[in-house]
A and B are shown apart, each in its own frame.
Chain A
Amino acid sequence: MKAAVVVFPGSNREHDVAAALERASGQAPKLVWHGEASLDDDYDLIVLPGGFSYGDYLRCGAMAAHSPITREIIHKANNGTPVLGICNGFQILTETGLLPGALMRNASLKFASRYVRMRVEAANTMFTSRYKPGQELVVPVAHGDGNYFADDATLDELEGEGRVAFRYVANDNPNGASRDIAGIFNAKRNVLGLMPHPENATDPLLGSTDGKPLFDSLVSALS
């Protein structure tokens, strides 16, 4: 599996996700600086990592969504290239319109860094095939703006089409997200955005390994 992790100024979890991808696939992904002219055509996976792109001084992800390299990512995503956006990456994906809705300030108005429980809502995708439907995972979150919002029609559509990927377990929603949504797919299911950090739950020494099957799923689908 040949993966690209796109690094914007202010990205800061690129090494974490690169390590998780390498652990799963045995192959180090390429860290691609946003200023590089273009993305090669033969990437099997594009990852937008966590962080504070451009300081998130405008809405989170809003600046990165207009970066030249992002135009190319949108184009490739629309042509079927798998794209994974984690945390700030999810925020960028909603700002580009590849995923619907928006990520608002946490309902607590505070940064939330802790382990949460979330449930696998769709186990039949290239991102989640190694999970069992309904499986409960323990993964860390670390964000100030993870409060997923969309209007009811959009939420109904996401749920109706089985495009909710992960949902926080009741009473463990760290940010007030609508309908406890932690992650969603696009209509073609080649784009996944989620707030929690599966890449930080792949090493037994650090506690949970519940994030590892996500990367294993990608390896088995894309290698």
Chain B
Amino acid sequence: MTPATLEQALDHGLSADEWKSILRILNRAPNFTELGIFSVMWSEHCSYKSSRVHLRTLPTKAPWVIQGPGENAGVIDIGDGQAVIFKMESHNHPSFIEPYQGAATGVGGIMRDVFTMGARPIAMLNALRFGEPHHPKTQHLVSGVVAGIGGYGNCMGVPTVAGEVNFHRAYNGNILVNAMCVGLARTDKIFLSAAKGAGNPVVYVGSKTGRDGIHGATMASAEFDDASEEKRPTVQVGDPFTEKLLLEACLELMATDAIIGIQDMGAAGLTSSSCEMADKGGSGIELDLDRVPCRETGMTAYEMMLSESQERMLMVLKPGREAEAEKIFRKWELDFAIIGVTTDTRRLVLTYKGSVVADLPVSALADDAPLYERPWQEPKRAAPLGPVPAPKDIGEALVTLIGSPDLCSRRWIYEQYDTTIMGNTVQRPGGDAAVVRIEGTTKGLALKTDVTPRYVEADPYMGAMQAVAETWRNITAVGATPLAITDNLNFGNPQRPEVMGQFVLAVRGIGDACRALDFPVVSGNVSLYNETNGQAILPTPAIGGVGLIADVSRQATLAFKAAGETILVLGETKGHLGQSLYLRELLDREEGPPPPVDLKVERRNGEFVRSLIAAGRATAVHDISDGGLLIAVAEMAMASGIGAELRLPANATPHAFLFGEDQARYIVTVRSAEADAIMAAAARESVPVLRLGMTGGSAISVANKQTPLSRLRDAYEGWLPKLMSAA
């Protein structure tokens, strides 16, 4: 085997220092195959070398957490012997290069992470960020990403139930595609990835290995430049049909007790799955690459180990159970091959055509991967907000905002996703959080992803806290108790101290918010190097939350239920306009600090709202977030066809009161006869409460100005279809 060189290492994205570490660990130069293995295992994407130090500070425990970060996905206990397994993961770089396949394989990859642990996926969510609406690539990227997510998820037969979308010029060269999968398992049937024991068969199942996706993990660990489109061959191609078969076959085998460990082949394919399984099991693995099912002839060991062909799994079985397992995979018409054996050597040994082509210590590839404490600096604080003029007309401002890119209806998107399949989707896209019933019970899960990147850009610590708080609030607003989150941390180049500063402070903000809200982090993913030609994205720590409702018939929805009900605002309105959409969409200013988050207040207000819902006293509930109070009222009105008549408090500045984005607030409607009692109850709990007005009519009426719902609906429903049909 010819030794590899420093130049080859640099070409593989390793640094000169990392090359020196490899020479020291091996006491020799690696060969080309070994270099390839090091390069993917030590890539940012697989090793988390810039982020691990900080991620360790996150709270990951609670009595209901069964499995925190470190496995394929996080696991929480929802009672009755049932566990929810979930995770969110990015597929940003591939989706920019090839939107359909990039997004599709992102969905496929996160589903495998969940069913590899023994869960049947029951819901999908996605958090998407695109560039400016009229950027020449945006229409193509939106249409490809949405079709790809739908194409894969619809074929898998898993409903896509919630999501979020933003548009901002900071994503012109780097879109974000974050997909979250939620699955259901038995608490006594959870599968981990450790390849324990020596002499156990290592089995490859699923699709054949091809030359697609080689170096995907390395690509995802580098910045883009103008030549990035040439990287299209590194994007994998998805086959949801095969994944559907793989899902059913895996679940069928998992009903037996034949499996010791199982891991999907995601980024860095066979390399990372075998290394991670051996590392976690404290074992070694020997693979005979002649037995790997290949799609093409003449593949080299290097290509087989680095391929990111989709829909593949690696399993370690109990000895003697191979035939039973093979029968199941043959029934589902999938490849099944015993390609190796576990050992007690703690080494990864690969043989091909009769000779050893790689022989590496497992620990060097996994646990001993480089770990960096990157230098970081406090980002510049946003300057205080100057005076903000009032609009000429409140009603016109409302119409402009409701038809703006970040607030308009997402119908064009979610109508391409199957939302009704599996027959348990109680709340479909369009509400605060999706609600999915647990089949055969009265329980329901509330699911939502959230982050407001412009807040995080202006103040990473506060903005990240806000993301957690808003997720928590959305889950609360449907009546559920928030249980745990997964996070998907999308940032620019961590080698720039100002970007690293955003990351460090955002992780602190997430940690503090999760601790204060008893909302632990059980899984997550970090995506760095989201920048092109030195221009980074807005820092985007997307939070995916899961909550539980004991009786799903007691959920709350945001649509007004009847005319003549009293509209209350719970939580204090100070009129915070810094970083608001009012400021950006009407005045073209992105200025000021984001709204402050007070987690004690957040929790107090949320718990009060949840108690109203549980008691059946809240007829409609909506959290107040982007766009402020009047936007929330308009959404509740449009969802029902029932208007509202609002009264401003005497001392309020109308535009700040109506469009400010203060946190910890909800709009709640109640039967008017109960309003006084509920207001008194709020006061007893020290929850600020305000009587805002009454439901009724077919317009939003405020400050002597009537805006017909039909006009609002045209603006709200019109924007996205118009963008997407532009020639």
Contacts and interface: CB of A to CB of B under 8 A. Distances in A.
A200 B414 CA distance: 18
Contact of A113 (B332, B419, B422): B419
B534 to A, nearest CB: 37
Interface residues of A, number: 31
B157 interface: yes
B415 A10 contact: no
A70 B157 CA distance: 22
Interface stretch (B239-247, B492-500, B539-547): B239-247
Interface string B546-580: 00000011000000000000000000000000000
B330 to A, nearest CB: 10
Interface stretch (A52-60, A90-98, A147-155): A52-60
Interface string A33-51: 1010000000000000011
Contacts of B155: 10, 12, 52, 55-56
A75 interface: no
Given A10-B241, A12-B155, A205-B437, A200 B553 contact: no
B676 interface: no
Nearest to A14: B157
A9 to B, nearest CB: 6
Contacts of B253: none
A199 B241 contact: no
Contacts of B240: 52, 55
Nearest to B248: A9
Contacts of B82: none
B709 to A, nearest CB: 20
Contact of A16 (B154, B242, B422): B422
A142 B425 contact: no
A206 B420 contact: yes
B552 A113 contact: no
A144 B414 CA distance: 14
| Binding site secondary structure of chain A | mixed
Interface string B155-176: 1110000000000000000000
Contacts of B245: 9-10
B24 interface: no
A199 B422 CA distance: 10
A13 interface: yes
A32 interface: no
Contact of A15 (B239, B418, B422): B422
Contacts of A199: 423
B331 A35 contact: yes
A193 interface: no
B150 interface: yes
A57 B426 contact: no
A142 B552 contact: no
Contacts of A197: 420
Interface in B326-361: 331-333
A111 B239 CA distance: 17
Contacts of A206: 420, 423-426
A197 B157 CA distance: 14
Given A35-B331, A111-B154, A206-B425, A200 B420 contact: yes
A13 B159 CA distance: 11
A112 interface: yes
A203 interface: yes
A43 to B, nearest CB: 22
A66 to B, nearest CB: 15
Interface in A1-39: 9-10, 12-13, 15-16, 19-20, 33, 35
Question: Chain B CB within 10 Å — which of A33, A52, A205, A206 has the most?
Answer: A205
Nearest to B429: A113
B31 interface: no
A71 interface: no
Interface string B433-444: 000010000000
A132 interface: no
Contacts of A51: 157
Question: Chain B CB within 10 Å — which of A33, A113, A199, A200 has the most?
Answer: A113
A113 B418 contact: yes
Contacts of B420: 113, 140, 142, 197, 200, 206
B421 interface: yes
B461 to A, nearest CB: 39
Contacts of A33: 331
Contacts of B421: 12-13, 16, 50, 142, 200
A112 B157 contact: no
B423 A110 contact: no
Interface in B437-459: 437
Contacts of B150: 111, 113
Interface string B219-243: 0000000000000000000011110
A174 to B, nearest CB: 9
Interface in A188-219: 197, 199-200, 203, 205-206
Question: Chain B CB within 10 Å — which of A12, A13, A54 has the most?
Answer: A12
A144 B150 CA distance: 10
Contacts of A54: 241
A85 B416 CA distance: 22
Nearest to B331: A35
A116 B242 CA distance: 31
Contacts of A112: 415-416
A12 B244 contact: yes
A19 B239 contact: no
B699 to A, nearest CB: 25
B417 interface: yes
> Closest 4 A-B residue pairs measured CB to CB?
A12-B157, A55-B241, A142-B418, A140-B420
Given A111-B418, A113-B154, 5 more contacts: A9-B333, A12-B155, A12-B421, A199-B423, A206-B423
10 contacts: A10-B245, A12-B155, A15-B422, A51-B157, A52-B240, A113-B416, A197-B420, A200-B423, A203-B423, A206-B420
Interface of B: 147, 150-151, 154-157, 239-242, 244-245, 331-333, 414-426, 437, 552-553
